[in-house]
Amino acid sequence: MHSDLPPGQRLIDKLPRFGLGKFAHRFPNTDNAAEIDIGGDVGQPVKLSIPFGDLNRVVQVSDFHCVTTWTACGISWSGFRFSEFYKELVVNLAQPEPSVEFVVFGGQDGYKVGMHLEDLLASDVLLADRLDGQALPIAHGAPLRLVAPAHYGYKSIKHLSRIEFWCKEHAYQHAGFKFMDHPRARVEFEERGTGLPGRVYRWLYRPLVKSTRRKFAKALAEHIS
Ligand SMILES: Nc1nc2c(c(=O)[nH]1)N[C@H]1C(S)=C(S)[C@@H](COP(=O)(O)O)O[C@H]1N2
Ligand SMILES: [Mo]
């Protein structure tokens, strides 16, 4: 079963709370009703409330691949297809320019990441608000997160609060160093970052996994106590 993991990935048994160290101590506001701001090259900036009642709810079981080489298999998400969200809600309500190609996401914790619209329209890309049949926990991105299984986990933004649609590739402040981001970050092609071969990142990142997991778990335990 696990012999077909993507190149350089290793199986772990449970999805950990994870990310770049500086985000370990940042948490979403869970007091207010959750809304997503839509902006960029659009005719009408809008706020959309979660859950998106008009869209079809889908359940998807998929594997999750972190760029630091861990993979968690068979994660059960529930939410809305990004393609449907875009075509039904964004196009109708925000009226983006027809030539929109690039999307910048922002999280409540200050995290930002960009993706090509074409990659986001794949049928396995979700905006998820449930995990294992329960409301999405803080650990994994409450109130809403992106799930893009074909791309490294750093594209699957948690605590989503803002989406910008742009006609051209749009500069954004990546949370880490520039070499850590790849515009597509496809797992299949080991596009871990920009500038170095995919295999080199394995050796850079692998030693950091254990301590990062510990740091994120400890910060969450302190936050909820
Ligand atoms: N807002 C936000 N989204 C984020 C991160 C983060 O720190 N903040 N970390 C990214 C990274 S590197 C990974 S591997 C996944 C981890 O998701 P998990 O904590 O549910 O395992 O979230 C991604 N999305
Ligand atoms: Mo990651």
How far apart CA 109 and CA 225 sit, in angstroms, is 20
152 contacts 187 by C-beta, under 8 angstroms: yes
48 contacts 36 by C-beta, under 8 angstroms: yes
How far apart CA 75 and CA 133 sit, in angstroms, is 11
* 98 contacts: CB under 8 Å, gap ≥ 6: none
Q: pLDDT for 22-71, tens place per residue?
A: 999 999 987 777 899 999 999 999 999 999 988 999 999 999 999 999 99
Residue identifier of the C-alpha nearest atom 23 of ligand 1 = 154
Q: How far is the CA of 154 from the centre of ligand 2 (A)?
A: 5
Share of the chain above pLDDT 70, in %: 99
Q: What angle do CA 32, 14, 114 make, to 5 degrees?
A: 55
pTM, two decimals, is 0.97
The first and second tokens of residue 79, run together, are 């939410």
Is 140 near ligand 1, meaning CB less than 6 Å away? yes
127 contacts 145 by C-beta, under 8 angstroms: yes
**Given the CA of residue 18, which atom of ligand 1 is nearest to it?**
19
How far apart CA 67 and CA 19 sit, in angstroms, is 10
Q: pLDDT for 108-143, tens place per residue?
A: 999 999 999 999 999 999 999 999 999 999 999 999
E strands, 54-125, are 58-65, 70-81, 102-107, 112-116
How far apart CA 63 and CA 75 sit, in angstroms, is 6
Q: pLDDT for 193-207, tens place per residue?
A: 999 999 999 999 999
**Given the CA of residue 140, which atom of ligand 1 is nearest to it?**
20
> What confidence tier does 3 reach under pLDDT thresholds 50, 70, 90?
low
Is 23 near ligand 1, meaning CB less than 6 Å away? yes
pLDDT of residue 72: 98
Neighbours of 91 (CB within 10 A): 15
**Bridge partners (DSSP) listed for residue 64:** 72
How far apart CA 209 and CA 118 sit, in angstroms, is 31
Residue in 198, 209, 179, 217 with CA at minimum distance from that of residue 70:
209
> What confidence tier does 1 reach under pLDDT thresholds 50, 70, 90?
very low
How far apart CA 104 and CA 148 sit, in angstroms, is 14
pLDDT of residue 173: 87
Res 2 pLDDT > 60: no
